[in-house]
Amino acid sequence: MTLKICKVIFVCLVSALMVLGCATTSSTNLKLNTISGSGFTESCRTPSEWYDIPPWRLGMPAKVVRHTDCMGVQDMLIVIHPAPSNEVTMAASRLLALMYVDNKEKAGEGREKLNVSYLKTDMVLAGGNNIYLVFFELAKSGE
């Protein structure tokens, strides 16, 4: 009898975990579906911060832009560059995001550490050129 009760409890726990896992995945997918290059240019008007990165720093020119409440993301960091999206430019974009957070922590802005999470990459056409946008979410550690 005890074994049957344990099996029922186990099945209930596994079912609950599966439902919770699906809910998290669905909300993440909904967030990613709202993020796009065109959505950025249309709805994210005034950045809270903006930095130009000269091409000699990472081999490509880039802009690092921070927005609050942009396309459903509370705190978003976007790395914008004209270089084709590949492993090198993704690594450079991630490095810029990490350097941004590291700089903020060293400057003492905010007592809590920030986590950087990659969201997605998209492309827009501007002046006949492809412009790549690499979206990251910033969150305080523990959120």
pLDDT digits (tens, 9 = 90+) for 29-75: 546 677 888 888 888 888 999 999 999 888 899 999 999 999 999 99
12 domain-assigned? no
25 domain-assigned? no
24 domain-assigned? no
Residue 123 sits at the vertex; the CA angle it makes with 121 and 129, to the nearest 5 degrees, is 145
pLDDT digits (tens, 9 = 90+) for 113-135: 889 999 999 999 989 999 999 99
Residue 121 sits at the vertex; the CA angle it makes with 120 and 123, to the nearest 5 degrees, is 145
3 domain-assigned? no
pTM for the predicted model, two decimal places: 0.75
Q: What is the CATH number of the domain that holds 72?
A: 3.30.200
Structure token digits, residue 121: 């990459």
Structure token digits, residue 96: 């810029």
**Tally of domains in the chain:** 1
Q: Is residue 122 within 8 Å of residue 37, measured between CB atoms?
A: yes
Q: Which domain holds residue 78?
A: 35-140
